[in-house]
Structure 1
């Protein structure tokens, strides 16, 4: 049966009538973010050169999964080593439906599978680069990659939602200054997005034309 303490899943929030994604297994990923010292002053590595010595996104480096990042020269996309969602093609125990509970079965602790796919896209092999500092042709390569993976997963017909995003800030563990983003594909539409879509349908000015 599925271990909800170590596997990604959805949980029902009866107070707001919504489903949220819970990914407890992600605490196993290496923490490179802000650390609190005994004197209550946050400590973090601010020297980019020091960070790069352990940067798993650098070409030729070893990631937490043990895989070696290839010597890429431009944009590079790979599957997230610590995905928030369970891969839809995974036949492992973590996606078994036997331990999930519907709202009817348990309205306070209902849970459901959280399936999809999670990718990481590196924009550039140089850790000192950002989109703002990259040349136009380099930025175009990033956008082209976004279009490629969007089209690829759109054709698979099994995903309802795609999100390309960046996390920033040492407090949430995003201390890696290497230019990159994450791409999540979800088999279920997020609850708050359903609300936005409903508001668009019912409140759109187009409705009154």
Structure 2
């Protein structure tokens, strides 16, 4: 059995009161936090929540985000370590992984319970929490290029923040994610992701949760929908791209996107914080492998959204909802992207330009030619 991966966690505060936590790789010396020398005096005013009676969805209005930093040059990057010429969001001269409250949040900074609905014409403050996760002090590169130990530290950061945010008043869903690539709409090139703690269950999570709950109830609580789909995909094999002791990655039978891979644990767990040490070990390995395979498909890096689906903090939905990754890209060819137009954007009715079986075969080929992340990398099926 390997030793547990235990990063050194050092909390501090930025000059405007926002929380910041350093997650240093195991074995690093203790850190005495450097003070934020920018002298920020106040935080952005919160946005507002509005309830759309037509759809039953909440909408966050965050006009203050119009002034957020947009694709700055490397010498002015807010996620690089602070230097004499660039006082950034991270006061230290170096770091491994860092998590901090977003300076321009869509939700928060306060957390509170919101009512199930709101009358037309009324608003409430956009409570919740938005955090930034910077994967590395290096301005260039991507998550796929992280060494295994650093990726494993990021997994621990996701687990830590999931547990902490889930305990805040009114939080009903915690969503870690990464937008990668200008085609996706990133505003910073520095390798990073985000975590949103919503005061409501998002529409997509509610849809998935309701389907999972119906299946769970019909099975008398003896089976879950995602667990059953995982078993079917593993038995069929043609869409499986990576299989390990604890996780399997596959292109789903009814994939919506030109590139779509689901990474699902073999054990039913609700979120990052419920994973055991050996599961986190394999997860870091499998995720790095998938991202490197995705980038090997074309001559240039592939844009993607990495969406970590965690069980909502809702008593009715949580027992049936299984933690998993949905990794998607709009890239349908080396020089073509899929845009969500009439059918998809207006009706939510997806039309895929690729077949899941062909995509899975291409990903298996890409993975077979890539070097192993570490010795315990799961096997790719023949």
**TM-score under structure 1 normalisation?**
0.69
> Equivalences for 1:99-138 in 2 at 5 Å?
102-103=118-119, 107=120, 109-138=121-150
1:194 aligns with 2:219: no
2:71 aligned partner: 32
1:83 aligned partner: 105
What do residues 108-162 of structure 1 show as CA deviations (whole Å, max 9, x unaligned)? x343332111111111111223221111111101111111111222334542111
Higher RCO structure (Cα 8 Å, ≥6 apart):
1
Residue 26 of structure 1: how far off its partner (Å):
0.6
Question: What secondary structure does 2:211 align onto?
Answer: helix
Aligned partners of 1:200 and 1:138: how far apart in 2?
Answer: 34
1:15 aligns with 2:54: yes
Question: What secondary structure does 1:162 align onto?
Answer: strand
Residue 167 of structure 1: how far off its partner (Å):
2.3
1:62 aligned partner: 87
Question: What secondary structure does 2:208 align onto?
Answer: helix
Runs of 4+ in structure 1 displaced over 4 angstroms?
Answer: none
Matched-pair contact (CA < 8 Å) for 2:128–2:198: yes
Residue 168 of structure 1: how far off its partner (Å):
3.3
Residue 193 of structure 1: how far off its partner (Å):
2.4
Matched-pair contact (CA < 8 Å) for 1:56–1:69: no
1:163 aligns with 2:155: no
Matched-pair contact (CA < 8 Å) for 2:47–2:126: yes
Q: 1:151–1:7: structure 2 CA closer, same or farther, 3 Å change rule?
A: closer
Question: What secondary structure does 1:86 align onto?
Answer: coil
Residue 56 of structure 1: how far off its partner (Å):
1.2
Aligned partners of 1:205 and 1:155: how far apart in 2?
Answer: 26
Question: What secondary structure does 2:99 align onto?
Answer: strand
Residue 166 of structure 1: how far off its partner (Å):
1.7
Matched-pair contact (CA < 8 Å) for 1:162–1:183: yes
RMSD value over aligned CA atoms?
2.8
Residue 181 of structure 1: how far off its partner (Å):
0.6
Q: Given the alignment, which residue of 163, 166, 183 partners 1:151?
A: 163
Q: 1:171–1:30: structure 2 CA closer, same or farther, 3 Å change rule?
A: farther
Q: 1:147–1:184: structure 2 CA closer, same or farther, 3 Å change rule?
A: same
Aligned partners of 2:46 and 2:97: how far apart in 1?
Answer: 30
Instruction: Specify the structure having the higher radius of gyration (Cα).
Output: 2
Q: Specify every segment of 5 or more residues in structure 1 that has no aligned partner in the other structure, as ranges.
A: 1-5, 34-50, 90-94
2:236 aligned partner: none
1:92 aligned partner: none
